[in-house]
């Protein structure tokens, strides 16, 4: 099966729908018009640029180049995690917390999948390594951002409750334990919903892309199951790690609540 090539006119017809939505936003005064246009422009530019980078990367199998691109993707994901929080940790904590948690889970699980499950040779083959890591980072980024936002926002709103628990003799883990658990659950909601609806409500992106490219549907399903399990595990591990470290950072060595560490 040959892939149907899309022309510039085809893409322009799809872009027209976004512009129409932006115009409707202006009419209804939703305040989304400029965001939609900017986001659409970024999508076009960023995807074409990464397409050129991947084309060059696929032409040669280099661990150094794959590593540099992976680190760049991680750093951008860390910034997006910080930017999506209403109340964030100040200084380098705000950036480093999400970045560290995604590095520990996403990179570890990606390498595990490449070496143990998929078995590519070499294991850092760009055709497999880059898309897999991209999907891992993209989804864990959302989970970590939701979990940390829930943690910091709820801790701020319930600061009196937390301080009262500390006065009654509870340690920091117990005082903020219910908030930490709720934060992890919130971070996991997107992936739990995605797994529950897969195949019934939606056909996930990777599976759809492989089917459109001519891959056997059953083989595409196998890869999609692998990806969803990896992403779910990565999101859960990242959310747990980020919320635990973040919750600990809200207290000083004497177990006093220090919300001034939030910005």
User: What pLDDT score does 154 carry?
Assistant: 92
User: What pLDDT score does 164 carry?
Assistant: 92
User: What pLDDT score does 252 carry?
Assistant: 85
Q: Render pLDDT for 30-41 as a digit per residue (tens, 0 to 9).
A: 888 998 999 999
114 in the same domain as 11? no
Cβ count within 10 A of residue 5: 6
Last residue of a domain, one of 14, 43, 59: 59
83 in the same domain as 19? no
> pLDDT band at residue 2, thresholds of 50, 70 and 90?
low
Domain count, the chain: 2
Q: Render pLDDT for 153-175 as a digit per residue (tens, 0 to 9).
A: 999 999 899 989 989 989 889 99
Last residue of a domain, one of 41, 59, 77: 59
State which residues form the domain around 12. Answer: 1-59
Q: What are 221's two structure tokens?
A: 């399903």
146 in the same domain as 79? yes
Q: Render pLDDT for 92-117 as a digit per residue (tens, 0 to 9).
A: 877 888 899 999 988 999 999 999 98
Q: Is the peptide bond before 32 cis (omega within 30 degrees of 0)?
A: no
Q: What are 152's two structure tokens?
A: 């910091």
Q: Render pLDDT for 220-246 as a digit per residue (tens, 0 to 9).
A: 888 888 888 999 999 999 999 999 999
pLDDT of 9 higher than 60: yes
Query: How far is it, in rounded angstroms, from Cα 186 to Cα 193?
Result: 11
Total residues found in the chain within this entry: 263
Q: List 262's β-bridge partners, or say none.
A: 89
163 in the same domain as 65? yes
């Amino acid at each position: 099966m040959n892939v149907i090539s899309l022309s510039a006119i085809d893409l322009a017809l799809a872009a027209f729908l976004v512009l129409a939505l932006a115009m409707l936003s202006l009419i209804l005064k939703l305040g989304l018009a400029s965001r939609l246009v900017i986001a659409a422009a970024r999508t076009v530019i960023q995807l074409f640029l990464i397409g050129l980078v991947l084309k060059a990367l696929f032409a040669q199998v280099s661990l150094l180049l794959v590593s540099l691109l992976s680190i760049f993707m991680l750093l951008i994901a860390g910034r997006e995690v910080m930017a999506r929080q209403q109340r964030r940790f100040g200084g380098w904590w705000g950036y480093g917390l999400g970045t560290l948690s995604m590095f520990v889970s996403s990179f570890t699980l990606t390498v595990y999948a490449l070496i143990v499950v998929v078995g590519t040779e070499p294991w850092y083959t760009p055709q497999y390594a880059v898309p897999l890591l991209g999907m891992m980072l993209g989804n864990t980024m959302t989970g970590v951002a939701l979990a940390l936002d829930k943690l910091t926002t709820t801790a701020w709103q319930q600061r009196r409750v937390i301080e009262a628990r500390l006065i009654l003799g509870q340690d920091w883990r117990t005082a903020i334990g219910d908030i930490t658990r709720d934060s992890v659950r919130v971070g996991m909601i997107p992936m739990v919903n995605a797994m529950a609806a897969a195949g019934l409500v939606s056909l996930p992106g990777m599976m759809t892309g492989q089917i459109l490219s001519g891959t056997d549907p059953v083989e595409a399903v196998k890869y999609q199951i692998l990806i969803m399990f990896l992403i779910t595990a990565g999101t859960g591990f990242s959310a747990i790690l980020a919320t635990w470290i973040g919750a600990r950072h809200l207290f000083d060595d004497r177990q006093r609540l220090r919300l001034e560490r939030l910005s």
